Amino acid sequence: MTSDSESLAGFALFDGVPPALMADLTGRCHRRSYTARQVICDVTSADRDVMFIHRGVVTVSSYSRSGREIAFAELGEGAYFGEIAAIDGMRRSATVTARTDCLLSVMPAERFRTLLAEQPVVAWRVMTRLTSLIRASNERLQSLSTQTVTQRVCRELITLSKPSPAIRGAHLVHPVPTQADLGSRINASRETVARVLLDLAQDGLVVRKGRTITIPDLSRLQALMEGLGGTMVYAE
């Protein structure tokens, strides 16, 4: 019997779906566990299933021609992935790796396609998500092709930041990704990211303490990202 923690009913994608259908969908799935750093799927995977995250965090990434990993996103509890291959039946479009230990529900591609045909509200949510992925991909491509590493680091810090609950006007990034992780997100080496972060700290644009980066004035970082600042920039 499937426990409540392994039911699909808690996923926002299925809000409003009748309970009987939810029970059927949950029963059609099987559960898989993955350990941290284990590859869940990649472009060579034969399956086209859709996977729903009950516990843990996964990293979605691709690889440049030189073999450098480029991380696109991190997905956590309540998220899903694999819908692109399930819809068109073609190979996976990215590599998904368990960042932490994970528990997933796996829905066969055929059942997912039937669900979209039978439940317009679910199909609409999937289309909305795919639209956001296209927009994010376009923005990332523009960033990689037109911005320096310094600008890309600034953009990533701004994206990850949240308003500080303790310092008025400041923003925090916590927990801070490792320099290698930041590099994979923006297609830069760890060493270059380290130099950029050091420059930003020396200029007072960021303050790092432990696993937290404080951004005292987000507008200054935004100006640098837009090419209006005066900090040394690195191209790579």
Which residues lie below 8 Å from residue 161, measured CB to CB, with a gap of 6+?
171, 172, 173, 213, 215, 218
pTM comes to 0.68
Which residues lie below 8 Å from residue 169, measured CB to CB, with a gap of 6+?
216, 217
Domains and CATH numbers, the chain: 8-144 (2.60.120.10), 148-225 (1.10.10.10)
Structure tokens at 31: 């559960």
What is the reported pLDDT for 144?
65
SS3 (DSSP) at 94? coil
What is the reported pLDDT for 95?
93
SS3 (DSSP) at 209? strand
Q: For the chain, where are the alpha helices, taking DSSP H only?
A: 19-28, 83-88, 109-118, 120-146, 149-160, 179-186, 190-202, 218-225
What is the reported pLDDT for 1?
43
What is the reported pLDDT for 227?
76
Q: Long-range CB contacts (< 8 A, 24+ apart) of 123-126?
A: 125/12, 125/13, 126/13, 126/83
Tell me the three-class secondary structure of 55-92, residue by residue.
ECCEEEEEECCCCCEEEEEEECCCCEECHHHHHHCCCC
How many other CB atoms are found less than 10 A from the CB of residue 130?
Answer: 13
State which residues of the chain have pLDDT below 50.
1
Which residues lie below 8 Å from residue 196, measured CB to CB, with a gap of 6+?
149, 150, 153, 234
How far apart (Å, rounded) are the C-alpha atoms in residues 122 and 139?
Answer: 26
SS3 (DSSP) at 30? strand
